[in-house]
Chains A and B, each alone.
Chain A
C-alpha cells in the first residue's frame, strides 16, 4: 500500500536502536585511514624547509638557524602534501582530529641546538601565504 511505505519504516525504526551517536557521552568511532592532525617529530627533523615550500596553504614555518618548526593548525588542511615531501619522515598524519581551538595560536617546536651560541629567540618567520 502506497500510503504505508513510510509507516513501515517508521515502525521498524521505532523499535530499533537509534542510528545516531550519543556524542558527548560516547566519542565518535575513529575510522582508520582518516586524515587528522599533523604530527611532528623534532628529533628526526633536519629543518630543511621542504615542507614549508610544499604546503599549499602556507601553514608551516621553518627557521633553519634557530631550529624552529611551527605550524598554524587553523591553516592546515590535513592534505598530507608535506608528509609525502619530508625527506626524513618527520611528519605524519594521525587519525585524531584534535580538540577544538579556542585561540589562534601557532604551535612552535624548538629542536636541540648543537652549540650554546644561539641569539635571543626571534619568532619563526611567517611564510607568505
Chain B
C-alpha cells in the first residue's frame, strides 16, 4: 500500500508547544513516527556562566512554566547537598506542600487539555475552573501564580502562618469536592472510556526498557516514584505510588486522577505535622563538588546534575526533564495506531516541550 508522510506539528491544535512528528501512514494506520524537537532551545544550562548560584534558582524555576516550584526545589537540593547545608525541617515541609500544590495544578491542567484533545470542551472548562482555585491558593501563599519564587538555597523565602494554613486547608476541602465531580466524569463516563480504553498500550517491560518515568511508567504497572527516595518531607509522610496495570491511555488518565487525591492527602499530612522553627539557614561560601538530585515532578522523575568548582558560578548545570525520558516511549507507541489517536497519545505523555529543550 502507498505510504504517505503527514507532518504533525510543530504547530498543532492539541498542543501549544512545538514538537513535530513525521508520521508515515498507510491508509489510516501510522507505521512510523520520527520526532523532531529543538524549536525552542533556550540554552538555559549555559546561563550558569552568567548568574551566580543563588540567582540561578530563578532561572531553574523558569525551566518549565507548569512545574516551576519543583524545578527550583530540585536545584536547591542539589546545591544544598554539595555544600552540606542542613535545611530546617519546617522548610522541608513547606517545600513539600508547595510541591504538591504544583502537582495538583499541573494534573488539573493536563486533565483539561486531555478533555480538550478528545473534544469534550465542557469538561475542559470545568477542569480549569477547579485549577483556578488551586492557583488562588498558590498566589495567596507564595505571591505568584505559576512561578512561585519561594525556594532558595538554604530553605524557603516565605512562611505559611497558622491562619493562612487553615484557610488553605478549608479551600482544599472545597477543591477536593470539585475534583471528585470532574474525576467521576473522567473515570466513569462512557464516552471518555470509549475514547481512551485500549488506546496506546505500553507493556510494563517496554516501559522500563524505554526509561519511562512518572505517571507514564506507573500506568504500566511500574512502582516508580521518586518521592519514595524521601526527599524534603516525603520520608516522614505515608503514601503509596498509584499504579495501574493496563498501560493504556485510560490508565494514564486514571493514575493522574488518583494522584490528585493523593496530593491533597499529602498536603493534609504535611500541614498536620508542620514543625515550628526556622524556615531558612544562612548559606556562606561557594559550592564545590557534584551531585545529581532527583525528584518527582508531575510529569515524572527530573534529574538535576550540578557540578561546581568552588567559584560563585557553577561549572555545569544539567537538567534531564521527564518529557525527555518519555519521548522514546511515544515514538514506540505510535506505530500501529490510528491517525485519529495520535493527538491522544501525544497528550497522554503530558509533553512539556520547552522544558524538554531547556
Contacts and interface: CB of A to CB of B under 8 A. Distances in A.
A29 to B, nearest CB: 9
A95 to B, nearest CB: 9
B189 A6 contact: yes
SS class of chain B's interface: helix, strand, loop or mixed?
A: helix
Interface of A: 2-3, 5-6, 9-10, 13, 19, 31-35, 56, 77-81, 84, 93
B119 to A, nearest CB: 13
Interface of B: 51, 55, 58-59, 120, 122-123, 126, 129, 132, 136, 139-144, 147, 149, 157, 164, 181-182, 184-185, 188-191, 193
A10 B125 CA distance: 11
Nearest to B132: A19
B140 A2 contact: no
B188 A9 contact: no
A79 B149 CA distance: 6
Given A6-B122, A56-B51, A33 B143 contact: yes
B189 A34 contact: no
A3 B191 CA distance: 8
Contacts of B55: 56, 81
A33 B184 CA distance: 34
B143 A80 contact: yes
Contacts of B139: 31, 33-34
B149 A6 contact: no
A21 to B, nearest CB: 10
Nearest to B160: A33
A79 B188 CA distance: 43
Contacts of B126: 9, 13
Contact of A79 (B58, B185, B191): B58
B149 A80 contact: yes
A2 B58 CA distance: 46
Nearest to A54: B55
A77 B188 contact: no
Contacts of B51: 56
Given A10-B122, A56-B55, A77-B58, A93 B143 contact: yes
Contacts of A84: 157
A50 to B, nearest CB: 14
Given A35-B149, A56-B58, A80-B157, A5 B140 contact: no
A79 B148 CA distance: 9
A79 B142 CA distance: 10
Contacts of B142: 33, 35
B230 to A, nearest CB: 30
A31 to B, nearest CB: 5
A9 B181 contact: yes
A6 B185 contact: yes
Contacts of B185: 5-6, 9
Contacts of A13: 126
Contacts of B141: 33
A55 B346 CA distance: 39
A2 B189 CA distance: 5
A3 B189 contact: yes
Contacts of B193: 2
Contact of B129 (A19, A33, A35): A19
Contact of B136 (A31, A77, A80): A31
16 contacts: A2-B188, A2-B189, A3-B189, A6-B120, A6-B123, A13-B126, A19-B129, A19-B132, A33-B140, A33-B141, A34-B140, A56-B51, A78-B144, A79-B58, A80-B149, A93-B143
A3 B122 contact: no
Nearest to A6: B185
